[in-house]
């Protein structure tokens, strides 16, 4: 291989190679997880200064941003973006605003499908065929993943194969790939020794190169000599321009934490604090864990389950996996979610989703914003809030057992006692409604697929049946009519042997799992 076939440029110079109308893909995820933020910042700054480039189609398999100004927020400018296609939108509020104001076109597709579309694009395939997304807002019969009124082009179709319904997602012709790693060697080979995930970096780069496009890679270190071939994540033959950021952190929150990439390194558990409703829901949900289970956790309320497992000393009895690619450790919480302490492995997210799509997960814990009388769940768009689905659809349609975790209502006030709850304010908005605003999870499809589905809140637990939602548990101290039924827009079925939730959930101390 020719040494130094790549060019080392300042970020401001590198982004000058992006032309009007280009299709640009960004690697990385969440709050700085392998996010090429310096390059993204330079791209946005160039547009503000010069008005160029214009009308880009931007693609990001994962959400990218800090809920404020970084990541996709750097490039959220009317005129710079024509269309944005993402797996998750929630941590890029400035991009969300453009979409809601119809200033850009936008699509939201499942994160796993987006990762697989990068592979399809890299191998010049027409697209991806999958049942993921059927009967959700991604299905053309329910909107086709379009974000707003100005988004008209259909990028997903319903097709039949051997009498079964599938969705066909179109692949992309990529002009520019913007990726990130930790280091390059003298030949431009990229390694990711300090990255919490490798995501779809290789596929994104390959997809650009087969379309005669360019690849811009942001790295922390530029090394002499050669790295070990097996450590290479993206070969130098695919990389055109290198941008160095010597101050590059692991995430927007963690400058460098060895425990996020090493099996045995110590980490502090000070962030693992569960309080209030989240503590109650997490403890009740953890009771569904069992020895040998392969378990996925979603962002938000459900990321508390591993904390309970850690408190109970049972983390070695099961395997936690997150869609960003890490397995075998304890997932981080809050904005830093997407990394994992002491992972046993970190693989490309596309391969992680292969396993998820194939039905490999025994249990998936996910959050919810709304639940309706049919068992449908909305976690992607409600009221004036647009977050997107992320990996929710990929995971929820294929796990053997689903446990949806959340507060019973919005802005309620409770008092926790040793036996149960005292409801001081039942809440401002109902979350159990007649029809969800957007279907992120289809109860009907779950019943067809014979999935076991629970909905766990601090006040009550429900299960999905062919007859509808059935109330199976209620917390001690909760009035069934005032605190539960009156705060639901529909009346659920009530199990004849409805149980009182285990009082140990509400007390201080271990559950004895």
Would you please indicate which residues are annotated as catalytic (active-site) residues?
A: 323
CA separation for the pair 140, 76 (Å, rounded): 27
Could you report how far apart the first and last alpha carbons of the chain are, in Å? 56
103 Cβ contact partners less than 8 Å away, ≥ 6 residues apart: 78
> How far is C-alpha 119 from the chain's CA centre?
19
Give the closest residue to 167 by CA, choosing from 129, 220, 112.
Answer: 129
DSSP 82: E
Identify the burial level of 448 via C-beta atoms within 10 angstroms of its C-beta, where 0-12 means exposed, 13-18 middle and 19 or more buried.
exposed
Strands 176-180 and 23-26, bridge-based pairing: parallel
Q: How many CB atoms lie within 10 A of CB 292?
A: 8
CA separation for the pair 482, 467 (Å, rounded): 24
- Look up residue 11 and give its two tokens: 């970020």
- Look up residue 265 and give its two tokens: 């390194």
State how far the alpha carbon of 344 is from the alpha carbons of 319, 325, 331, 350, 499, in Å: 10, 11, 12, 18, 39
- Look up residue 352 and give its two tokens: 């992680």
């Amino acid at each position: 291989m020719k040494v130094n076939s790549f060019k080392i440029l300042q970020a401001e110079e590198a982004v000058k190679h992006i032309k009007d109308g280009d299709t640009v893909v960004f690697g990385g995820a969440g709050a700085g997880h392998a996010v090429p933020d310096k390059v993204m910042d330079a791209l946005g700054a160039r547009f503000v200064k010069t008005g160029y480039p214009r009308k880009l189609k931007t693609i990001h398999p994962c959400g990218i941003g800090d809920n404020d100004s970084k990541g996709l927020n750097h490039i959220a400018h009317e005129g710079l973006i024509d269309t944005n296609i993402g797996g998750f939108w929630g941590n890029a509020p400035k991009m969300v605003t453009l979409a809601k104001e119809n200033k850009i076109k936008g699509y939201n597709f499942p994160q796993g499908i987006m990762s697989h579309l990068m592979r399809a694009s890299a191998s010049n395939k027409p697209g991806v065929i999958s049942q993921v997304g059927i009967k959700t807002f991604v299905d053309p019969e329910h909107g086709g993943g379009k974000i707003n009124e100005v988004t008209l082009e259909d990028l997903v179709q319903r097709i039949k194969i051997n009498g079964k319904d599938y969705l066909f997602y179109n692949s992309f012709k990529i002009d520019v790939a913007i990726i990130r790693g930790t280091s390059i060697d003298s030949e431009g080979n990229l390694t990711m020794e300090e990255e919490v995930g490798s995501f779809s970096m290789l596929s994104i780069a390959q997809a650009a190169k087969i379309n005669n496009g360019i690849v811009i890679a942001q790295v922390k270190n530029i090394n002499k000599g050669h790295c070990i071939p097996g450590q290479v994540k993206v070969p130098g033959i695919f990389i055109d321009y290198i941008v160095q950021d010597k101050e590059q952190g692991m995430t927007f929150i963690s400058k460098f934490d060895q425990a996020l990439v090493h099996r045995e390194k110590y980490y502090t558990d000070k962030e693992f604090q569960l309080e209030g409703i989240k503590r109650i829901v997490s403890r009740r949900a953890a009771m569904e864990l069992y020895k040998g289970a392969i378990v996925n956790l979603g962002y938000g309320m459900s990321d508390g389950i591993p904390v309970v497992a850690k408190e109970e000393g049972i983390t070695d009895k099961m395997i936690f996996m997150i869609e960003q690619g890490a397995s075998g450790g304890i997932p981080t919480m809050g904005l830093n979610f997407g990394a994992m302490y002491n992972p046993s492995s970190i693989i490309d997210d596309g391969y992680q989703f292969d396993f998820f799509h194939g039905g490999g997960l025994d249990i998936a814990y996910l959050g919810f914003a709304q639940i309706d009388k049919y068992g449908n769940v909305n976690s992607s768009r409600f009221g004036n809030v647009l977050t997107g689905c992320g990996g929710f659809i990929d995971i929820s349609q294929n796990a053997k057992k689903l446990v949806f975790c959340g507060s019973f209502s919005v802005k309620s006030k409770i008092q926790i006692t040793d036996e149960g709850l005292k409801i001081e304010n039942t809440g401002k908005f109902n979350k159990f409604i007649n029809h969800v605003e957007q279907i992120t999870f289809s109860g009907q499809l779950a019943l067809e697929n014979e999935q076991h589905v629970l909905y766990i809140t601090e006040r009550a637990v429900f299960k999905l049946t062919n007859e509808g939602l059935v109330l199976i548990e209620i917390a001690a101290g909760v009035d069934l009519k005032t605190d539960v039924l009156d705060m639901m827009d529909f009346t659920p079925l009530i199990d004849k042997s409805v149980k009182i939730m285990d009082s140990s959930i509400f007390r201080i101390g271990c559950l004895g799992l």
